[in-house]
Every structure is written in C-alpha cells, then in structure tokens.
Structure 1
C-alpha cells in the first residue's frame, strides 16, 4: 500500500519510528496463557461468590 504522505513527511515519520525509545522489545503474544488467566479469574470469582453466598444464607 503506497503512503499517502509526501516523501518529506514520510521521511520524518520513519526517523521518528526508528528512534531508540520506539524500539522496545516485546515478548510474543501467547493466547493460551491469556485464556488460562481468564479461566482462573472466572473460576476464582465463582468460588468466592459461592463461599459468600453460603456465609450469608
């Protein structure tokens, strides 16, 4: 896809993005870890809810 910027503006954008503060190394995204985390939170809240309902009733 060609850039809609003129060459001078595109050069400024490229310089900005190549600055050291924009070159952060990131760990790869792991969807299975996210799924496990969501399941643990949901199960934990469910168990807490059951515990509280038994204490109240």
Structure 2
C-alpha cells in the first residue's frame, strides 16, 4: 500500500521508528502461558462464584 505522506514526512517517520528507542528486544510470545493463565482465571472465578453461592444459599 502506498504511503499517503509526503516523501520527506515518510522519511522522518521511518527515521523515528528505526531509532534505537524503538528497537527493544522482546521475549518470544508463549501461547501456552497465556492459555494456562486464562484457564487459571476462569477456574478461580468459577470456584469463587460457587463459594459465594454456597454462602448465600446456606
């Protein structure tokens, strides 16, 4: 897709994005940690809901 910026503005944007400030090394994304966290949160909320329901019903 062609840029809608003027060439000098596009050059400034590219220089800004290529500056060392924006070249941060990141750890690889781990899908299994995300899935584990989601399962843990859903399980925890489910257990909390059952506990609160038992307190209300009892």
Aligned-pair CA distance for 1:40:
0.2
TM-superposed deviation, 1:4: 6.1
TM-score (norm 1): 0.77
* Normalised TM-score (structure 2): 0.76
Question: Which blocks of at least 5 consecutive residues in structure 1 are unaligned?
Answer: none
Question: Which deviates more from structure 2 when the two are superposed, residues 12-21 or residues 32-41?
Answer: 12-21
Q: 1:44: which partner in 2?
A: 44
For this pair of structures, how many residues does the alignment match?
57
Structure 2: tracts of 5 or more residues without a match: none
Give the distance between the partners of 1:35 and 1:15, measured in 2 at CA: 37
CA deviation profile, 1:12-33 (whole Å, cap 9, x unmatched) = 2221111121111111111111
Question: Counterpart in 2 of 1:24?
Answer: 24
RMSD in angstroms over aligned alpha carbons?
Answer: 1.6
Runs of 4+ in 1 over 3 A off after TM superposition: 1-10
